[in-house]
Amino acid sequence: MSDDAPARDFVRDIVEADRASGALEVVTRFPPEPNGYLHIGHVKSAALNFGIAAEYPEGRCYLRFDDTNPTRESEEYVESMKEDLRWLGFSWEGRLTHASDYFEDLFELALRLVRKGKAYVDDQGPEEIRASRGTLIEPGRESPSRQRATEENEDLLLRMRAGEFPEGSMVLRAKIDMASPNLNLRDPVMYRILHRPHQNTGRRWCIYPMYDWAHGQCDYFEGVTHSLCTLEFEDHRALYDWFLAALEVEPRPRQYEFARLNLDYTVLSKRTLIRLVDAGHVDGWDDPRMPTLRGMRRRGYPPAAIREFCRRIGVTRKDSVVEMGSLEHCVRAELDAAAPRAMCVMDPLKLVIVNYPEDREETLSAPNHPRNPEFGRRELPFSREIWIERADFMAEPAPGFFRLAPGREVRLRFAWLVTCIDYLCDDAGEVREVRCTYDPDTRGGSAPDGRKVKGALHWVCAKRSAAAEVRLFDRLFTVADPAASEDLISVLNPESRRVVPNALVEANLAEASPGAFYQFERQGYFCADAVDSAPGLPVFNRIVTLRDTWARRRQARPEPARSRPPGA
RNA sequence: UGGGGUGUAGCCAAGUGGUAAGGCACGGGACUUUGACUCCCGCAUUCCCAGGUUCGAAUCCUGGCACCCCAGCCA
| DSSP result, A496-512 | SEEEEEEEEEEGGGGGP
Q: How many CB atoms lie within 10 A of CB A28?
A: 27
Helix axis angle, A103-115 to A211-222, nearest 10°: 110
Residues A192 and A126 in one domain: yes
* A23 inside domain: no
* A244 inside domain: no
* A6 inside domain: no
Relative to beta strand A171-174, strand A189-193 is: antiparallel
Q: What is the phi/psi pair of residue A36, to 5°?
A: 175, -175
Kindly determine whether the C-beta of residue A231 is less than 7 Å away from any atom of nucleic acid strand B.
Answer: yes
Q: Which of the following is catalytic: A12, A19, A118, A260?
A: A260
Q: What is the phi/psi pair of residue A116, to 5°?
A: -80, 0
A412 closest-nt by C1' vs CA: B33
Q: How many CB atoms lie within 10 A of CB A164?
A: 13
Q: What is the phi/psi pair of residue A290, to 5°?
A: -80, 145
Residues A325 and A348 in one domain: no
Q: In A 397-426, which Cβ lie closer than 7 Å to strand B? A: 400-403, 411, 413-414
- pLDDT, mean over chain A: 95
**DSSP element (H, E) containing A50:** helix A40-54
Residues A474 and A564 in one domain: yes
Residues A369 and A304 in one domain: no
Q: How many CB atoms lie within 10 A of CB A332?
A: 20
**Chain centre distance of CA A87:** 12
Kindly determine whether the C-beta of residue A86 is less than 7 Å away from any atom of nucleic acid strand B.
Answer: no
Relative to beta strand A377-383, strand A385-389 is: unpaired
Which DSSP symbol is given to A132?
T
* A484 inside domain: yes
Using DSSP's 3-state secondary structure scheme, residue A254 falls into strand
pLDDT (tens, 9 = 90+) of chain A, 568 residues, equals 344 566 799 999 999 999 999 988 999 999 999 999 999 999 999 999 999 999 999 999 999 999 999 999 999 999 999 999 999 999 999 999 999 999 999 999 999 999 999 999 999 999 999 999 999 999 999 999 999 999 999 999 999 999 999 999 999 999 999 999 999 999 999 999 999 999 999 999 999 999 999 999 999 999 999 999 999 999 999 999 999 999 999 999 999 999 999 999 999 999 999 999 999 999 999 999 999 999 999 999 999 999 999 999 999 999 999 999 999 999 999 999 999 999 999 999 999 999 999 999 999 999 999 999 999 999 999 999 999 999 999 999 999 999 999 999 999 999 999 999 999 999 999 999 999 999 999 999 999 998 999 999 999 999 999 999 999 999 999 999 999 998 999 999 999 999 999 999 999 999 999 999 999 999 999 999 999 999 889 999 999 999 999 998 887 654 333 333 333 2
Q: Which of the following is catalytic: A270, A390, A435, A522?
A: A270
Residues A326 and A351 in one domain: no
Residues A357 and A454 in one domain: yes
A318 closest-nt by C1' vs CA: B6
Q: How far is the CA of A537 from the C1' of B35 (A)?
A: 31
Clarify whether A260 is annotated catalytic. Answer: yes
What ipTM does the predicted assembly reach? Answer: 0.97
Kindly determine whether the C-beta of residue A69 is less than 7 Å away from any atom of nucleic acid strand B.
Answer: yes
A208 closest-nt by C1' vs CA: B73
Kindly determine whether the C-beta of residue A62 is less than 7 Å away from any atom of nucleic acid strand B.
Answer: no
**DSSP element (H, E) containing A150:** helix A150-162
Buried b (16+ CB within 10 A) or exposed e, A527-544: bbbbeebeeeebbbbbbb
Q: How far is the CA of A9 from the C1' of B52 (A)?
A: 33
pLDDT for A514-538, tens place per residue? 999 999 999 999 999 999 999 889 9
Max CA separation in chain A (angstroms): 102
Residues A272 and A195 in one domain: no
- Chain B bases near protein Cβ (<7 Å): 1-8, 10-16, 22-27, 33-38, 67-75
Determine the pLDDT at residue A5: 62
Among A211, A189, A191, A208, smallest CA distance to A143 is for A189
Q: How many CB atoms lie within 10 A of CB A329?
A: 17
Determine the pLDDT at residue A220: 98
Q: How far apart are CA A122 and CA A191, in angstroms?
A: 10
Q: What is the dihedral of CA A277, A283, A286, A289, to 10 degrees?
A: -90
* A95 inside domain: no
* A514 inside domain: yes
Q: What is the phi/psi pair of residue A407, to 5°?
A: 85, -10
Q: Where are the beta strands (DSSP E) in A354-494?
A: 361-367, 377-383, 385-389, 409-412, 417-425, 431-438, 456-457, 459-461, 465-473
Q: How far apart are CA A465 and CA A509, in angstroms?
A: 9
Q: How many CB atoms lie within 10 A of CB A549?
A: 8
A388: Cβ–Cβ under 8 A, 6 or more apart, which residues? Answer: A345, A348, A349, A351, A404, A412, A434, A457, A458, A459
The helices-and-strands tally (H runs, E runs) of chain A is: 13, 25
Domain with residue A130: its CATH number is: 3.90.800.10
Can you name the residues that pair with A173 across neighbouring β-strands?
Answer: A120, A189
Residues A352 and A451 in one domain: yes
Q: How far is the CA of A541 from the C1' of B23 (A)?
A: 28
Q: Which of the following is catalytic: A16, A33, A142, A495?
A: A33
pLDDT for A459-495, tens place per residue? 999 999 999 999 999 999 999 999 999 899 999 999 9
Task: State the burial class of residue A280 (Cβ atoms within 10 Å of its Cβ: 0-12, 13-18, 19+).
Answer: exposed
Q: How far is the CA of A233 from the C1' of B69 (A)?
A: 8
Which DSSP symbol is given to A334?
H
Q: Which of A401, A435, A458 is the last residue before a domain boundary?
A: A458
A261: Cβ–Cβ under 8 A, 6 or more apart, which residues? Answer: A40, A41, A43, A44, A268, A313, A322
Q: How far apart are CA A285 and CA A276, in angstroms?
A: 9
A367 closest-nt by C1' vs CA: B33
Determine the pLDDT at residue A286: 97
Domain with residue A271: its CATH number is: 2.40.240.10
Q: In A 450-479, which Cβ lie closer than 7 Å to strand B? A: 452, 455-456
Residues A296 and A396 in one domain: no
Residues A303 and A362 in one domain: no
Task: State the burial class of residue A69 (Cβ atoms within 10 Å of its Cβ: 0-12, 13-18, 19+).
Answer: buried
Q: How far apart are CA A281 and CA A498, in angstroms?
A: 14
Q: How far is the CA of A275 from the C1' of B10 (A)?
A: 31
Which pTM does this prediction carry?
A: 0.95
Clarify whether A270 is annotated catalytic. Answer: yes
* A500 inside domain: yes
Kindly determine whether the C-beta of residue A64 is less than 7 Å away from any atom of nucleic acid strand B.
Answer: no
Q: In A 143-172, which Cβ lie closer than 7 Å to strand B? A: 167-171
pLDDT for A99-146, tens place per residue? 999 999 999 999 999 999 999 999 999 999 999 999 999 999 999 999
Residue A399 structural domain: 344-458
Q: Which of A166, A192, A209 is the last residue before a domain boundary?
A: A209
Q: How far apart are CA A386 and CA A293, in angstroms?
A: 39
Relative to beta strand A119-122, strand A171-174 is: antiparallel
**How many structural domains is chain A composed of?**
3
Among A393, A483, A398, smallest CA distance to A434 is for A393
Can you name the residues that pair with A470 across neighbouring β-strands?
Answer: A500, A540
Q: Which of A458, A487, A521 is the last residue before a domain boundary?
A: A458
pLDDT for A382-433, tens place per residue? 999 999 999 999 999 999 999 999 999 999 999 999 999 999 999 999 999 9
* A325 inside domain: yes
A192 closest-nt by C1' vs CA: B73
Residues A480 and A556 in one domain: yes
Residues A444 and A504 in one domain: no
Contact A472, A497 (CB under 8 A): yes
